[in-house]
Structure 1
Amino acid sequence: MIWVILAAAIIYKVWKVLRKPLKYWSDRGVKQSKPWLLLGDTWITLFKRKSFSEFTEWLYNMHPNSRYSGCYQFYIPTLVLRDPELVKQITVRDFDHFTDHRTFIDSDDDPLWSRNLFSLKGQRWREMRSTLSGSFSSSKMKIMFNLMNEAADNFVQYFVNKNEDLIELEMKDTYTRYTNDVIATTAFGIKVDSLVQPKNTFYLMGRRITNFSGLLTSLKFLGYLLIPTVYKKLKICILDKIASEFFHRIINETIRTREEKGIVRPDMINMLLEAKHGIQQDYQDVVQDYSDNTFATVHESNDITKFRQLKSLTNEDITSQAVIFFFGGFDTISTAMCFGSYELAINQDIQDRLRNEIKRTFEENNGQITYDVLLKMKYLDMVVSEILRKWPPVSRTDRVCTKPYIIENKSPGEPKLYIDSGITISIPIMGFHRDPLYYPDPEKFDPERFDQADKIMDYPYFPFGCGPRKCIASRFALIELKALLFKLVLHFEIVPSSKLQQPIQIAKGSFTPAIKGGFLFNLKKLSL
């Protein structure tokens, strides 16, 4: 009997020890989730009870009457914000306390992953951001637009040339071929056509380096979260080694060729090479650039003027920035296009209105579409803005507290919250975008929300993040989306395939939003 009592006492003691870290928020008077031992709240996505985007929305709605609540990524306490003013306070006004994203890999372990703009921290991030900002101004986008426009033309022409009036496609795979070709030409200086050559090396390596599905990758992330010291000693890389070596080789060969032969091409490599050789950006051109002031466009923070630019970049730095650009554009833009196609397919009145604007613009400009022409298309901008509201490709972003901070209480029962350095702050973009308080009938696809943008300017809308660490390439992403939508809707009617599962269900095991059964649509040829 005594052994039973002893065993029970030991089990109880172990349970208390394991349970204590999962009371971090409740001990501070913060409403929190109901985490599992060892797994925290991660069990919900780990066991595929919810998709990552659904999980994000669930966290946002967990305590609807609180400005924030607590959850746990395994044993890591995370504060979930649900008050727009608090988001602005943390990401903008008090940015100095929350300068970094959460990362868990040292530069020595996987430099291609850890040296990119997203992963860099502190002063190094400030210098890199300042150095790269000018590469994404509207003037630079105008230069790169011709490359992007050519990729959109090639994409659409491939299907126009098919001797079929109705073409059935799985759109996720199809759209990644467009985003791949855009990134190849604008970021790596390589021309490929991934529809004509579906197994070209660049596309296959791009799929390989951006593929985070599968047990092995999950174990890598899990290991870095739970036993980072062991993984660092073993030098286990997150990114696929073969794909990483491929992109290293491509960048090094491109740089060597351009420097030896004096080749200048209007792409990102050229802009990064300018930075490598110490050509400084004009701050004022970057921060005062409002020539493409569409609703979703992110403008560079005035704080950029406080940052010192890097004197030069290494080839490793250039490769890392090019690869994160691949990450930022390969999957997210194709995902936005997939859900955009879905919404246009089931809302034919919206598709027809968009097509009318496209045809009118096409005729008025004699078929010559430019960066400035796309920016003037109001309804196209409304449609893209609504796609990014309802289906943000990145459902949440984060910040890490870098200096101790206090969130003052604003209502009875709310604690004065002390946030220690190292605590993760989560900003659930999907939750804000689907909140009926800000967007009535949020499940409805309604571009008219953005008809008069000033009416909802104070509402939380941040498909590209917020504050100084918001996405540097929003202009690029928006024009890439608009260029393809313009050409596609001009030549085709997008209709659901009979094989499309309706109503759609979000795939539970997907990190980025996807639907069960795939994005199956038909392109119905139109005569111009």
Structure 2
Amino acid sequence: MWWILATVAAVAVGYWLLTRPYKYWLEKGVKQGTPSLIFGDIGATIFRKQSFPDVMVMLYNACPNTRYSGVYQFFLPTLLVKDPDLIKQITVKDFDHFVDHRSFIPEDIDPLWDKNLLILRGKKWREMRTTLSPAFTSSKMKYMFTLISQSGEQFVNYFLKKDENLITIEMKDTFTRFTNDVIANTAFGAECDSLRDRENEFYLMGKEATDVGGIWRMLKLIGYLVIPRLYKFFKIPLFSRSVTDFFTNIVKSNIQSREKHGIVRPDMIHLLLQARKNELKHDESEPVQDTGFATVAESETNKDVQNTKREITDEDIISQALLFFFAGFETVSLLMCFMSYELAVNPDVQKRLIEEVDETLEACKGKLTYEALLGMKYLDMVVCETLRKWPNAVALDRICTKPYTIEPKYPDEKPVYLENNAVVWFPVFAIHRDPQYYPEPERFDPERFNDENKVNIKPCTYLPFGSGPRNCIGSRFALLETKILFFYVLSHFEVVPVEKTEIPLVLTKKQFNLTAENGFWLGLKRRVHLIRK
């Protein structure tokens, strides 16, 4: 009989230990949903029953009429902040309490990952951000415009040479080849043509570095979250040795060649080398014309170059270039995929955009200029609406770096005390789909961002590139690259649905990022009467 009692007691204690962490928010007076044992609120995504964006919308709506609610990543309590005013307060006004992102990779096991701007914390992040900030201004985008434009022309010429009126392609594969070539050219000083040379080493290494869809890669990432100490003990790196060696060698040899032969090239390595010599400064006066409404302005706190004493090593340059690649290869190509899908299923929008493309091309006498591209208002509206409906980040995070109290605003609220290392989420995808901010949120409507309407968009309800000093440093580059590509594509083709096009688009349940379950199959229909020599 005693062993039965012992078993029952052990089960009871085990159950108590498993359920105890899920009372964390309730004990703080914060409403929460119903987390599952062990997996908390993300089990549906872990077991591929529901896409992460859909899970985020579910969590956003689980506790209506609240500014925030409690959720759990496995056993990790996370505060889901839904109120735009509170998001602004945390990311801007009280930024000093929420400086860092949560790093899912333990420190000191992957040097290239440890040193990148996304992962750096505290003082190290401030110094690196301030040092790199001048490299991403509007004037520096103009500096790199020619290189990106060359890649855009190379991309469209590949399809123009095909003797087909309708070319069926999978857009994700196609656009990652374009973004690979752009990043190789602008960040690593390497020229590629991944549409023709489909197995080039740069593309294969980039694909391996950014692959998060495979089951083993997913399990590896989950392991970083669940058993970080074990991963750190065995020093399990994020990137394979082949990826690390490839990018290290290409950047170091590039730096040595430039310094030896005095080579100057309008790309990211040149700008980072300037930063190393303290020759990279913020422009006295940035041009009024910028890359678009979605561009996030650089915080004044990130411009104080005079107080920066950051010494930039070759490893720092390699790490930032790799992050640039990591972000540009995947996220920008997905923006292009979603935009091509929306143009295909909204032919009226595409028709109007093509008219603007043709008018711009005629105005600049057949040769696209930086100023002409940035003057395309409807193109900017279409890009902005794509980022509204399909934001790059499903959610953004911050770590509480100094104890912080969220003061009550309504009678049913209590002060919420956040300790050091408390995790905060901003549910971007769900906010962008909230009908109180965007009526008929499922409808693709670029007019939300026309001159009359965009001024009425409530701050922090549009967050495609984040908010505050820790926003995305590469927003200008991403927007410029996307606009250039679609300008060249629509100059010669229409994007149309084909037999394999999935309408409506179904989001994948296999990854945490935002992408289509069965790919983005679309057609490029040749505009025969407008083919230019």
**Residues 296-335 of structure 1 aligned to structure 2 (within 5 Å):** 296-306=294-304, 308-335=307-334
1:487 paired residue number: 488
1:380 paired residue number: 379
Q: Pick from 293, 296, 308 the counterpart of residue 295 of structure 1.
A: 293
Q: Are the equivalent residues in 2 in contact too, given 1:438–1:459 (CA < 8 A)? A: no
SS of match in other structure, 2:295: coil
C-alpha separation in 2, matches of 1:289 and 1:93? 26
1:520 paired residue number: 521
2:59 paired residue number: 59
Q: Which amino acid aligns with 1:365?
A: C
Q: Are the equivalent residues in 2 in contact too, given 1:500–1:521 (CA < 8 A)? A: yes
Q: Which amino acid aligns with 1:180?
A: N
Deviation string 1:393-421 (CA, Å, 9 cap, x unpaired) is 21111000000000001112112100011
Q: Are the equivalent residues in 2 in contact too, given 1:127–1:310 (CA < 8 A)? A: yes
Q: RMSD across aligned C-alpha pairs, in angstroms? A: 1.5
1:47 paired residue number: 47
1:30 paired residue number: 30
Task: Mark the runs of 5 or more structure 2 residues left unpaired by the alignment.
Answer: none
Offset at residue 284 of structure 1 (A): 4.8
C-alpha separation in 2, matches of 1:59 and 1:327? 28
TM-score using structure 1 length: 0.97
1:135 paired residue number: 135
**Residues 76-115 of structure 1 aligned to structure 2 (within 5 Å):** 76-115=76-115
Offset at residue 366 of structure 1 (A): 0.3
Q: Which amino acid aligns with 1:368?
A: K
Q: Which amino acid aligns with 2:51?
A: S
Q: Are the equivalent residues in 2 in contact too, given 1:283–1:304 (CA < 8 A)? A: no
Offset at residue 305 of structure 1 (A): 3.8
Offset at residue 31 of structure 1 (A): 0.9
Rate the CA distance shift 1:24–1:149 in 2: closer, same or farther, 3 A.
same
Offset at residue 510 of structure 1 (A): 2.3
1:167 paired residue number: 167
C-alpha separation in 2, matches of 1:3 and 1:512? 48
Offset at residue 58 of structure 1 (A): 2.0
Rate the CA distance shift 1:522–1:441 in 2: closer, same or farther, 3 A.
same
Rate the CA distance shift 1:337–1:305 in 2: closer, same or farther, 3 A.
closer
SS of match in other structure, 1:70: strand
C-alpha separation in 1, matches of 2:438 and 2:522? 28
Offset at residue 97 of structure 1 (A): 0.1
1:400 aligns with 2:399: yes
Deviation string 1:467-504 (CA, Å, 9 cap, x unpaired) is 10000011111010100111111210111111122222
Task: Mark the runs of 5 or more structure 1 residues left unpaired by the alignment.
Answer: none
Offset at residue 289 of structure 1 (A): 5.5
Counting matched residue pairs gives 526
Offset at residue 462 of structure 1 (A): 1.1
Q: Are the equivalent residues in 2 in contact too, given 1:298–1:471 (CA < 8 A)? A: yes
Offset at residue 106 of structure 1 (A): 4.5
Deviation string 1:163-204 (CA, Å, 9 cap, x unpaired) is 111100011000101100000000000110001111100000
Rate the CA distance shift 1:416–1:207 in 2: closer, same or farther, 3 A.
same
SS of match in other structure, 2:62: coil
1:259 paired residue number: 259
TM-score using structure 2 length: 0.96
1:502 aligns with 2:507: no
C-alpha separation in 1, matches of 2:378 and 2:14? 60
More deviation, 143-152/231-240: 231-240
Deviation string 1:58-104 (CA, Å, 9 cap, x unpaired) is 22222121100111111111100110000000000000000000014
Q: Are the equivalent residues in 1 in contact too, given 2:97–2:402 (CA < 8 A)? A: yes
C-alpha separation in 2, matches of 1:310 and 1:291? 31
Q: Which amino acid aligns with 2:416?
A: L
Deviation string 1:362-414 (CA, Å, 9 cap, x unpaired) is 10110121121111111011000000000112111100000000000111211
Offset at residue 226 of structure 1 (A): 2.2
Q: Are the equivalent residues in 1 in contact too, given 2:291–2:480 (CA < 8 A)? A: no
Q: Which amino acid aligns with 2:387?
A: L
1:194 paired residue number: 194
C-alpha separation in 2, matches of 1:98 and 1:455? 28
Q: Which amino acid aligns with 1:75?
A: F
Q: Are the equivalent residues in 1 in contact too, given 2:42–2:55 (CA < 8 A)? A: no
C-alpha separation in 2, matches of 1:365 and 1:432? 39
SS of match in other structure, 1:493: strand
C-alpha separation in 1, matches of 2:312 and 2:254? 15
Q: Are the equivalent residues in 2 in contact too, given 1:501–1:516 (CA < 8 A)? A: no
1:465 paired residue number: 466
C-alpha separation in 2, matches of 1:82 and 1:311? 36
Q: Are the equivalent residues in 2 in contact too, given 1:500–1:517 (CA < 8 A)? A: no
Offset at residue 306 of structure 1 (A): 4.5
Deviation string 1:493-522 (CA, Å, 9 cap, x unpaired) is 111111122222111112222223211111
More deviation, 2-11/180-189: 2-11
Q: Are the equivalent residues in 2 in contact too, given 1:217–1:238 (CA < 8 A)? A: no
C-alpha separation in 1, matches of 2:280 and 2:494? 46
C-alpha separation in 1, matches of 2:458 and 2:287? 19
Q: Which amino acid aligns with 1:17?
A: L
Q: Are the equivalent residues in 2 in contact too, given 1:492–1:524 (CA < 8 A)? A: yes
Offset at residue 55 of structure 1 (A): 1.8
2:424 paired residue number: 425
SS of match in other structure, 1:168: strand
Q: Which amino acid aligns with 2:220?
A: K
C-alpha separation in 2, matches of 1:241 and 1:45? 29
Q: Which amino acid aligns with 2:499?
A: S
1:208 aligns with 2:208: yes
Q: Which amino acid aligns with 1:244?
A: T
Q: Which amino acid aligns with 1:467?
A: G
Offset at residue 214 of structure 1 (A): 2.1
Q: Are the equivalent residues in 2 in contact too, given 1:278–1:312 (CA < 8 A)? A: no
Identity of aligned residues (%): 50
More deviation, 194-203/239-248: 239-248
Q: Which amino acid aligns with 2:503?
A: Q
C-alpha separation in 2, matches of 1:188 and 1:457? 39
Offset at residue 309 of structure 1 (A): 2.4
SS of match in other structure, 2:108: coil
Q: Are the equivalent residues in 1 in contact too, given 2:136–2:473 (CA < 8 A)? A: yes
SS of match in other structure, 1:422: coil
